[in-house]
Structures are given as structure tokens and as C-alpha cells.
Amino acid sequence: MNIDEIGPIEGHWLGEIRGTHIGNAFLRVYRSNGELISDLRINIQGEVTVFDGRVNAGPPMTIDLVPHVEPGIEIDQSLVGRMTIGNIHTDGFSSEWELSNGARGIAKWIATTVSQGTTTVQTPLVPIRPAQLISKEVPIGAVTIYRTELEGLIQKLKSLCSNDIEPVITATIDNGKVIMYAKDILARGDLPSSVNECTISIADNQPNAQKSIVINFNKQSESNVVVQGPDETWSTGASVDLTEFMKRYTSYGTTAFRKYGLLINAFIFLSAIIVIPDFDIVERVLLIIVIYTVMIAFISLHALVPNTVIYFDDTKRNPFRRQLPTIYSAVLATGIVAVVTILFKYLPVTSWVLWLRDWFGN
């Protein structure tokens, strides 16, 4: 197809990006050396990404998406993609975009006319009205989610937002971040058995009724649910409903250990400060070494217990396994405290010093 037969794609366009990424965009298509060249700039949460490309006649008509880099800089191949153009009208068109990292979505474009330093924006296909969004953020405890439960959570998100929209999962797989629709990522055969960090999100961007739900699962820090909706009633109701739903996956023992476990260290440290004046200098040094060792043991134990475990594989597991991290933590912590208690009760610090002197002397 000749370049003049491609259609009225040449010009300036304002767009809205929806899908795994949500943002605003500006597209400029111009002629250069007998080809139509594209300059696409996308603003996602204040971060602007620039894509260079070329218009391919098709059918279907497509635009290459190649990240703009300075000469000598290697292109990030995970961000290379393509945008497929739908029917073009005088006032706009729709398109579908996809990147190599699995990110996908749609975009709606509005025609603009730029001439003599002035910009005239034609009437959009759908009038864009600013929408007020009410946001609710609720913390959730330590969770363990199995494959079937993950599928149930995905269906729950769809029922709260829109059954016609597929949630998006963001996870780190093979040392790289993957952003894909839930059904696509769960269909992959190269998934790890489990992950400790993950984000599941869904967004319904109907005019004047925008809704979004984001669940952030974190390995060490606190996980949370973020709900945004058009009014207070929906946002509050959805956040309460979802947090109640998440309780079935929550280990309250692990949550308590993650939340209050390090307070044990503070208690041990304060106890040491109280008893240290009763000993001479050698005994004080030995006591500090013991207390420091115990505190390091508790910190290490705290770091070993993940706040989140999400299983991707289909292996059937006993729901009791959800409490295993709590049991391990309780047993180890009890053992550490018991050893310290026995040492203090049955082996006075003076005896420690004499024993160490004899041991080193021999």
C-alpha cells in the first residue's frame, strides 16, 4: 500500500492509555524520506517514556514502538512493541498496544490541529470530564495464597469492579519484572512455584465511574489494599468487602510475629541495661556479647519469615501449612528464650567467666 493510501493518520493526536498501564499520551505522525514516522510520548504517574517508530501500512495498520535512546545506549528489548490501529475517523481512532514484557492494553486518540503557534482540539468521540475519585487504603496481614485461592481472588476482583475486565498481575520472575493479564500469566508453563512479592490490579475506566483496586503483596513490609472509586459508598464498601475476603488467607500468628517480634529485642536490650550494673567489667562484656548474639538471632529469625507467599503451581497443599511459618517461629523463639533463661538461672555469670578462662587457658 502506498504511503498516500494509508489514511489520515498523519498529524497530532492526544490519547488515553488503558490496560496494564494507565496514563496520558501524545502521538505525532509525520513524513520523512517517503515514510510515515511516529513520535509517541506516554506519561504514566509523572514518568514520561518516549517511543520512536514507523507506520506500517498493513493491513492491519501498525506502528512500531521502540524506546528512544541516545546513540550508543542499548535498547531495552522488553519495552519494544507494536500498536495496531483501528478505523480512523476525522475526530479520532482507537488502537491496541502490546510490549514484549507482556504489557497490553488499548488507547483512544483525539485529533488535534497545530498551526501558526495555536492548537485547536476537535470535539472528542467521548467528552472527557474530570472525575473525583475517593481512595481507601487498608493494611492486610501476612498471607499465604494457593493457586486455586489465587484464581478465586481474581474472580473476586472482577466481581467488585467489572466482570468484563481482566486483572493484571505484576511479579518478578527470573530476575525480571513481568506485567501480564492474570489469565495469561497463569497459563505460562515457566512460572516459579511461588513468589513473595506481587501486585494484582484491576481498573474500570468508564466515564464518570472510574474504579480501581490494587493489592500490594510485600515480602517484608506491610501489604495493603488500595481502592479508588467514584464515591465514598463504593470505595468504603469495596475495601471492607475485600479485606474481609482476604482474612481467609491470613495467618494471624505470622502477622503478630511480623508486627511485634522485634519488640522482643527491645525487651532483651532493656533487661540487659537493668542487670549490667550488678556485674564487674569482664562479666559486663560477656553479658553484652550474649545479649547481642540473641538479638541477632531474633532479627535473623524475623527476616526468615516472609510476609507473603503466593503459590503459582497446582500442587495440593494442606491449609494447615498456612500456619507453619508461625509454628517454626514460635518454636525457635521459645528455644532461644529457654536457653538464655537456663543460662541465667543455673549458670551465674561469674561461672561463665571462670569457665571461659579455664577453657582458653587449656
Distance CA 347, CA 338 (A): 13
218-222 CB contacts, 8 Å cutoff, 24+ apart: 218/307, 218/308, 219/306, 219/307, 219/308, 220/303, 220/306, 220/307, 221/307, 222/139, 222/140, 222/307
CB 54 within 8 A of CB 36: yes
Alpha carbon 83 to its chain's center: 25
Q: Please, what is the average pLDDT of the chain?
A: 75
* Mean pLDDT, residues 55-77: 86
Q: What is the pLDDT of residues 126-169, one digit of tens each?
A: 444 444 567 888 888 778 888 888 999 999 999 888 777 888 88
Q: What is the pLDDT of residues 175-233, one digit of tens each?
A: 777 888 888 888 888 888 888 888 898 887 665 567 888 899 887 777 888 888 878 88
Choose the weakest-confidence range: 117-126, 245-254, 337-346: 117-126
* Mean pLDDT, residues 100-123: 68
pLDDT value of residue 196: 84
With a cut of 50, say whether residue 95 has pLDDT above it.
yes
| Full set of structural domains in the chain with CATH | 3-121 (2.40.128.120), 134-249 (3.30.310), 252-361 (no CATH)
Distance CA 12, CA 237 (A): 42
Dihedral of CA atoms 328, 330, 333, 337 in degrees, nearest 10, equals -140
Residue 66: pLDDT band (50, 70, 90) is: very high
Distance CA 228, CA 212 (A): 5
